[in-house]
Amino acid sequence: MLQALKKNPKFTPRRGPVVLAILDGVGYGKYADGDAVKLARTPVLDAFMKNCPVTKLKAHGTAVGMPSDDDMGNSEVGHNAIGCGRVFSQGAKLVEEAVESKKLFAGEVWKKLIENVKRHDSTLHFLGLFSDGNVHSNINHLKAMVEEAKKAGVKHVRIHALLDGRDVPETSALEYIDPFEAFLAELNKDGFDARIASGGGRMVITMDRYGANWDMVRKGWEVHVHGCGEMFRNAHEAVEALRKKTGAIDQDLPPFVISDDGRTPVGAMKDHDSVIFFNFRGDRALEITKAFEAEQLAEFDRGIRPDVMYAGMMEYDGDLHAPKLYLVNPPEIDRTMDEYLCATGVPQLAVSETQKFGHVTYFFNGNRSGKFSDTLDDYEEIRSDIVPFEQRPWMKCAEITDRVVEAIGSGKYGMIRLNFPNGDMVGHTGNMEAVIVAMESLDLCLARIKKAVEEAGGVLVISADHGNADDMLEHDKKGNVKLDKAGAPARKTSHSLNPVPCIVFDPESKNEYKPELREGLGISSLAATCIELLGYEPPADYDPSVLVFK
> For residue 437, which of 427, 447, 449, 448 has the smallest C-alpha distance?
427
Q: Could you tell me which of 353, 447, 336, 344 has the C-alpha nearest to residue 83?
A: 336
Residue 131 designated active-site: no
Predicted local distance difference test score (pLDDT) of residue 255: 98
Known binding residue 167? Answer is yes
- Indicate the residue type of 354: T
Three-state DSSP at 137 gives coil
- Residue 323: is the preceding peptide bond cis (ω within 30°)? yes
Question: Is 359 among the annotated ligand-binding positions?
Answer: no
**Within 13 Å and on the Cβ side, how many CA atoms surround 102?**
6
Cα-Cα end-to-end distance for the chain: 33
State yes or no: 543 annotated in a binding site: no
DSSP 368-396: --S-S-TTTEEEEEEPPPSS-GGGSTTTT
**Helix, strand or coil, per DSSP, at residue 483:** strand
H-helix or E-strand spanning residue 503:
strand 500-505
Q: According to the annotation, is 178 in a ligand binding site?
A: no
Question: CA–CA distance from 236 to each of 138, 240, 485 (Å)?
Answer: 20, 6, 18
Give residue 67's pLDDT.
87
Beta bridge partners of 435: none
| Catalytic residue, candidates 75, 137, 259, 494 | 75
226 a known binding residue? no
Residue 166 marked in a binding site:
yes
Known binder of ligand: residue 70? no
Q: How many residues does the chain have?
A: 550
pLDDT in tens, the chain (550 residues): 799 999 999 999 999 999 999 999 999 999 999 999 999 999 999 999 999 999 999 999 999 999 889 888 999 999 999 999 999 988 899 999 999 999 999 999 999 999 999 999 999 999 999 999 999 999 999 999 999 999 999 999 999 999 999 999 999 999 999 999 999 999 999 999 999 999 999 999 999 998 999 999 999 999 999 999 999 999 999 999 999 999 999 999 999 999 999 999 999 999 999 999 999 998 899 999 999 999 999 999 999 999 999 999 999 887 688 999 999 988 889 999 999 999 999 999 999 999 999 999 999 999 998 999 999 999 999 999 999 999 999 999 999 999 999 999 999 999 999 999 999 999 999 999 999 999 999 999 999 999 999 999 999 999 999 999 999 999 998 999 999 888 999 999 999 999 999 999 999 999 999 999 999 999 999 999 999 999 999 999 999 999 999 9
Handedness of CA 69, 74, 80, 81 (dihedral sign): positive
Predicted pLDDT at 284: 94
Domains of the chain: 18-86+332-533 (3.40.720.10), 92-328 (3.40.1450.10)
- Give strand pairing partners of 18: 415, 459
Measured between alpha carbons, how far is 129 from 298 in angstroms, rounded to an integer? 26
Confidence at residue 318, expressed as pLDDT on a 0 to 100 scale: 73
Phi–psi pair at 201, nearest 5 degrees:
-65, 140
> What letter would DSSP give residue 14?
P
**Is 491 known as a binding-site position?**
no
User: If DSSP codes are grouped into helix, strand and coil, which group holds residue 469?
Assistant: coil
Give bridge partners of residue 299 from the DSSP assignment.
Answer: none
